[in-house]
Amino acid sequence: MMPQSNLEIDIYEQPEALRRLLTDERANIEKIAAAIHERDPKFITLAARGSSDNAGRYAKYLFGAANGLIVALATPSLYTHYDQPPRMDGTLAIAISQSGQSPDIVSVIKEGRRQGGPTVGITNDTRSPLAQEAEHVIDMCALRERSIGATKTYTTSLMSIAMLSTALIQNKAQADERWRMLEQVPELVTQVLANAEATIKAAERYRYMRVCVVVSRGYNYATVFENALKLKELTYTLADPYSYPDFQHGPIAVIEDGFPVIAHVPQGPIMHEMIAFLRDVRERGAELIVISAEPEALAMAQTPLPVPADMPEWLSPIVNIIQGQLFTLGLVRAKRFDPDKPRGLMKVTMTQ
């Protein structure tokens, strides 16, 4: 089936973009990792907005688990409006921005470099202000993204982070194994896209949906924020993202018969707790949309959206969000909105 919109074109180009990134940027990323090791940072300060900020949530988990580094999301207004930047000694500053244009994000990198720390810009425009200010630059290799809603620049941001994390691992055997896992990701994404029409059709059931929650935990905490953002941007659905423990601490009171809950349930340490959570909200009347490879979780859903099994949880956000994108695309169609002209939005947002 031929793509009907720029959004679809971008979604379907993701396997190719991920392969290109793995091929074209690995040597550069390994060189960057070696330079970072020479500086021996103890912390990471990460600056981003929008979908890039969601990628930053993934970085918090991945750099923490794989590299033992604490990651703090920057507060850009301290660098711009208040002109009171914090001390950044011993800190690696990373900025993620598909356009590389936003002044507040660039300001964090500029200050980090002024204070003498290593700086990395992850961007889809290697001629952008961010690329000019950063000491090291990772090209997302997504090429031109046509749609206003970020899709392939989001997944290539995640892949860039995963590649940098892997390159920073000093145990060669462990790093080699993770590189092999990374090489499998484009094919896993292709497998999800092969069944795209089933997900797009499944979304028609929710054409009248105005509110929902999106839940997960761990590495996929990033996924729920990105999934919710796409629903807000493109379908105007008030989608609230939650870590499921946070949702249980009060917001669970909103659940009533038919209330939609989108759940990303990865195979890994959180899976059994998540299944117990799904059982609880289903008993309260929730309408479950479950994105998972786990049969037990999928069996609990009114709308099961499967992903490939046996992928490591740390890579599942790159694959799971594809189902979130396809579900959003289906809902855009069902609601008869134009996916390429979301109201009030532009491709590049300039914030101070």
Query: What CATH number does domain 201-335 carry, 3.40.50.10490, 3.90.1310.10, 3.40.50.12780, 3.40.50.2300?
Result: 3.40.50.10490
Q: How far is CA 113 from the centre of its chain?
A: 26
pLDDT at 160: 99
The dihedral of CA 283, 197, 51, 168: what is its sign?
A: positive
pLDDT at position 342: 84
User: 6-192: CATH homologous superfamily?
Assistant: Glucose-6-phosphate isomerase like protein; domain 1 (3.40.50.10490)
Question: Mean pLDDT for each 10-residue chunk of the chain (352 residues)?
Answer: 82 98 99 98 96 97 98 93 92 96 94 96 97 98 92 98 99 98 98 98 98 98 98 97 95 97 97 97 98 98 97 98 98 94 67 59
Q: Which residues contact 340 (CB under 8 A, 6 or more apart)?
A: 5, 6, 7, 146, 147, 148
Residues with Cβ within 8 Å of residue 239, at least 6 apart in sequence:
211, 212, 213, 214, 227, 228, 229, 231, 232, 262
Helix (H, G, I), strand (E, B) or coil at 311: coil
Considering the entire predicted model, what is its pTM?
A: 0.96
The DSSP bridge partners found for residue 265 are 292
* 304: helix, strand or coil: strand
Measured in residues, the chain has a length of 352
Which residue bears the tokens 């740390």? 314
- The conformation of residue 71, written as its DSSP 8-state character, comes to E
Alpha-carbon span 303 to 312, nearest angstrom: 24
Residue 343's identity, in one-letter code, is R
Residue 265, pLDDT score: 98
Backbone Cα Rg of the chain: 20
DSSP 83: -
Residue 52 has what pLDDT? 96
State the residue for tokens 């807000």.
232
Retrieve residue 279's tokens: 């059982």
Q: Where are the domains of the chain?
A: 6-192, 201-335
Q: What is the largest CA-CA distance in the chain?
A: 57
